[in-house]
Every structure is written in C-alpha cells, then in structure tokens.
C-alpha cells in the first residue's frame, strides 16, 4: 500500500510539473512574414516580403500599426533584430560590393533611424560588426568578427550607448551576451581550464567567475543571458558529437538539457529552442523548456483556438520569448515556400 501511494504521489508530482506549462492562443498570421521579437508592450519587429520579393525589416506598434524600415536582408531566416522595452530596435547588416561595408541599424521611436559605423579605433578599421546583445538601457554589445575562425578567438568588443562607443580590447575575455543590468557574459580564457565563464560588470570593472568544466565537451557556446545572471548555451558531446544544451543559474548551478538546443530565454527562466525529433534525419522542432521539463510548442496550442494545420511537429518556428511568455516566430503553411508570422500568447487561466 505504501508503495502504491508513493507511485501515485510521484505521478501527481509529474502531472503538476507538466501543468506548469501555459496553453497559447494564436495571433497575427500575416502571409509572407517572419516575427522575430516582441517586447512587453506588444511592439514587435520582423521581416515581410515586399513588392520586389525581397524581405524588408518592419516594426509593429499596437497603436500605430505596421511600418517598413527600409532595410532589406537576403538572410532573413537567420537575422535576429531585437526590440527592447523602449521600442528601440538594433540589427547588424552589411552592404555588398567589392569591399562590403558593415553597419548597425538602430531605430528609436523619438529620434528615428541611425546607421552606426564601426568604432573609430585602429583595431576596428573596416571590420565586420556583429550585434551580440541589446538591452532596455539602449546599450548595444558589438563584437569584431573579421578574423573569426572559432568561438575561442579573441574578438574586441564595444558597448554603444547614447551615440558613442566604449571599446574594450581584452585578450582574456570573449564577450557573448548582454543583460538589462548592463552586465556582459563571456568566456574567460585561462591556461588551466577551458570552460571558465565570467559575468563582467563594466560599471565596477569586476568579474564573477563561473566554472563549467564538468561539461562533457571541448566546444561550447552561449546563446542567451538574463537579468538574474542565469544563462543558456549549447555544446557538442565529446563522445557522440551530438549537440545538446545547458542551463546555468546562481541557485541551481549547471543543468544538462539533453537532446534540446536552447536559443532564447526570459527572466522567468523559460527557454525556447529546438528539440531533437528524429536525429537520424537531423530533424528538430520548436520546443519550450521550463523547470526541467520540455514540451513541443505545437502541443501547447489552445485546443479551442482552431488552426488545426498548426498542430504538426514541423509547422512552427519560434525565435524569441519575452518576460510575459509571449512567443515570436513563423508558421509554415501547406503551400510550398509559404509561411506566416505568428505570435503565441499565454492563455489567461
């Protein structure tokens, strides 16, 4: 009897864990659009297909509607514009030619559009700029990727804020992410241990060291970093060569996310990414990780919302999650090369 009771308790506990997941209502659904990011005020940024069949950056505001921003990208699936809670937008891009020129697109609702050039520093001359983070303070974390060959490479980085750069030329720290407190997460290079990470506070010039030497890999990289100091990443398993995820928090330390590749996280430690569905076919589907459990996104749709065609493993692509749990992404339709933008909002209980 005691054994049966313990089994029932375990089952109830497991069901309680699963019940922590929200169900989601489906919004937006405009043809030939990709929704990349949504802030806590319902403002969003993405790409739409214009008259010339090129993909142009757009912003959406619940009060004023849609606005094209005159930036065209051929790599719209992979570009990740960020919108912060001030309604500002940041995106790196380049202008092709004999000698490509690299810029950062910056939009502010008050001052309008700026095209930022590299810092006026010798080590940044004619360099390839990459946005690695953008926060609610209006700070943009920019790295120099011109001589990029591996994650371990030294890459100068800079913080752009209030129309000026602060350049950091460190040979021991590889910046990878920025949070809303202005802290920078990166890999701290030492001879003794390859997987030492650090949270750098530029305001006080201090480091919080984090040892991830127990990761079973020689190749790992950071994906996102929140205001609590928690972060997510991916690694290549040393034995199987498969890619898995990891989660680290100040309270719980390191957790391995097997067969789950995290992409973005919020301040509630909800993580969106890709779950291995059929490894032999390199087949991944969008999923949500929360409190140690993984759930496929298409299984979380409100059953009364309709959209039965969305309830298949390979239809939904999620790019971001905000602090309200709102998911931004795209949905493939039954037509060839046809898709819609999609915003999934947690249903009120």
Average pLDDT over residues 183-208: 87
Choose one of 120, 146, 175: the last residue of a domain.
175
Q: How many domains does the chain have?
A: 2
- 125 domain residue, yes or no: yes
Question: Shortest CA distance to 242 belongs to which of 211, 219, 271, 263?
Answer: 219
pLDDT for the residue numbered 10: 43
Q: Are residues 164 and 93 in the same domain?
A: yes
- 7 domain residue, yes or no: no
Choose one of 175, 194, 222: the last residue of a domain.
175
Q: Are residues 160 and 257 in the same domain?
A: no
Range of the domain at 45: 39-175
- 92 domain residue, yes or no: yes
Percent of the chain whose predicted confidence (pLDDT) is above 90: 50
Q: Highest mean pLDDT range out of 24-28, 42-46, 186-190?
A: 42-46
143 in Cβ contact with 92 (< 8 Å): no
pLDDT bracket for residue 165 (50, 70, 90): very high
Q: Are residues 252 and 345 in the same domain?
A: yes
- 322 domain residue, yes or no: yes
3-state class (DSSP) for residue 20: coil
* Beta-bridge mates of residue 114: 106
For 51-107, the pLDDT digits (tens) are 676 788 999 999 999 898 888 765 544 568 999 999 999 999 877 666 667 889 999
Q: Are residues 230 and 100 in the same domain?
A: no
* Minimum mean pLDDT range among 45-54, 209-218, 260-269: 45-54
Average pLDDT over residues 285-312: 87
Q: Are residues 146 and 236 in the same domain?
A: no
pLDDT bracket for residue 146 (50, 70, 90): low
322 pLDDT above the threshold of 70: yes
Cβ neighbours around 270 below 10 Å, total: 22
pLDDT for the residue numbered 156: 82
Q: Are residues 261 and 321 in the same domain?
A: yes
* Beta-bridge mates of residue 90: 82, 106
- 121 domain residue, yes or no: yes
7 pLDDT above the threshold of 80: no
């Amino acid at each position: 009897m005691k054994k049966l009771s313990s089994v029932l308790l375990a089952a109830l506990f497991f069901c309680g864990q699963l019940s922590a997941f929200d169900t989601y209502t489906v919004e937006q659904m405009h043809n030939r659009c990709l929704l990349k990011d949504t802030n806590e005020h319902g403002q969003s940024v993405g790409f739409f297909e214009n008259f010339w069949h090129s993909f142009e950056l757009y912003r959406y505001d619940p009060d004023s509607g849609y606005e094209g921003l005159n930036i065209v990208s051929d790599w719209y699936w992979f570009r990740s514009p960020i919108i912060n809670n001030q309604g500002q937008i940041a995106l790196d891009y380049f202008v092709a030619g004999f000698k490509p020129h690299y810029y950062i697109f910056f939009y502010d609702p008050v001052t309008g559009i700026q095209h930022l050039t590299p810092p006026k520093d010798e080590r940044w001359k004619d360099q390839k700029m990459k946005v690695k983070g953008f926060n609610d303070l209006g700070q943009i974390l920019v790295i120099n990727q011109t001589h990029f060959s591996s994650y371990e490479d030294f890459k100068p980085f800079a913080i752009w804020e209030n129309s000026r750069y602060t350049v950091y030329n460190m040979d021991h720290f590889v910046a990878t992410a920025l949070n809303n407190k202005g802290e920078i997460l990166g890999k701290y290079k030492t001879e003794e241990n390859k997987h030492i990470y650090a949270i750098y506070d530029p305001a006080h010039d201090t480091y919080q060291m984090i040892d991830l030497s127990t990761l079973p890999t020689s190749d790992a990289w950071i994906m996102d970093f929140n205001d609590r100091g928690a972060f997510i990443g991916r690694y290549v398993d040393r034995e199987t060569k498969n890619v898995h995820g990891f989660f680290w928090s100040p309270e719980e330390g390191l957790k391995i996310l097997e067969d789950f590749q995290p992409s973005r996280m919020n301040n509630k430690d909800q993580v969106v990414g890709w779950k291995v569905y059929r490894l032999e076919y390199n087949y991944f589907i969008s999923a949500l990780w929360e409190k140690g459990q993984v759930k496929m996104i298409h299984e979380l749709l409100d059953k009364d919302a309709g959209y039965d065609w969305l309830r298949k493993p390979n239809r939904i692509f999620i790019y971001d999650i905000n602090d309200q749990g709102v998911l931004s992404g795209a949905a493939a339709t039954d037509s060839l090369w046809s898709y819609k933008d999609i915003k999934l909002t947690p249903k009120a209980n």
